[in-house]
Amino acid sequence: MIERVSDSGEYDNNKNKINRRDFLKFAGAIGIGIISAPLVGSMSRFTPIYYNHPASSNSQSQGQNNNDNNGLVRTAEATTTSSNDKNGFRYVQPVPSFKLTYSNETWTFTKNFRSDGSMRCDFKDRIRNSVFIGGYFKVKGPDSEEVSAKLNGGPHTSSSPENTYADTMDVGITNFLGTKSRVRWEKTHPNYSSSIAPSSSYLPVGDVRNKWRGYCGLKVNLDDNRDGKPDRVALIGMVDVGGLNSTTMKPVNNWKVTYRRIFTPSEIALKSIWRPYVATIDKPELAQTSLRVDEQSQSEWQSSNPPYKYVTCKQVTATKI
């Protein structure tokens, strides 16, 4: 039976809720560590909320490599407790007139690293109506190749009717030359709309190849008129042009906006705008958020020293200020 999904993105399973005291007793008994962050909502946010997804021969759950975690979906009030997450990844604030709060963080993803050179970090743990996804990569390839974020979507398969589940906001964060960004709609896989240019950006950001650089994409529902319902969508792409500190290998957090545009609903050619389409047809387990880089070496990405670090996905809430 499919569990219902609330507007906050959490699965509704009242019979399994526990109170704070019971949870702390449980955590102490099995040795779970809890991050230092204020409680947000019920204690159920600290419990693992994952579907079991069958892995293909080229997909596996992420383990170590600077993304290690115990499987918990962690919660943090980023704007009030810290500027960065546990790996030093900045909680960015790229939406003018809005304050972003981050929660429901995870560093566990499916390593969908394909033999055709398409490397995909797929997060499938929950519905996030507004979402941040990011990571640090050392890429190589042609000028026109890009790092992209697949947001608010479902699976990307050509079989029918599953091909209609894609319904994705596709943000091209930057090409490898560091000169271009774009957004496309993928209502049905693999049919993309024409590219939509940003309304503002700080391009160019320099050639990103053969050096550590940070990338992130955001889809943020905005309540611009403060009536309690979203009426705009911000799509953002950013690059940390400072990359990783050569000594500490921690993020420098010199973030530049490469794509920013605020969309009205009429401008978005998808079946669902405020939340993933699959959640509206009682298939929330098919929702996914992904980072994708093509023209890469599968063997390098599967090695013990792969060209990615600190890959993460987080829920975002926007408050007008």
Q: What is the pLDDT of residues 5-16, one digit of tens each?
A: 333 333 344 444
Torsion over CA: 51, 32, 92, 249 (sign): negative
Assign residue 66 a region (left: φ > 0; alpha: ψ between -120 and 50; beta: otherwise).
left
Residue that is written with structure tokens 């941040």 in the block: 132
What is the pLDDT, as a whole number, of residue 82?
A: 86
CB burial of residue 255 (10 Å; 0-12, 13-18, 19+): buried
pLDDT of residue 81: 62
- DSSP-derived secondary structure letter, 18: -
For residue 229, what are the domain limits?
4-320
Number of domains in the chain: 1
CA-to-CA separations, 130 to 102, 234, 235, in angstroms, rounded: 10, 9, 10
Block means of pLDDT (10 residues each) for the chain, 321 residues, are 34 44 46 38 34 38 40 38 93 98 98 97 97 98 98 93 96 98 97 97 98 98 97 98 98 98 98 98 97 98 98 98 96
Q: Is the peptide bond before 306 cis (omega within 30 degrees of 0)?
A: no
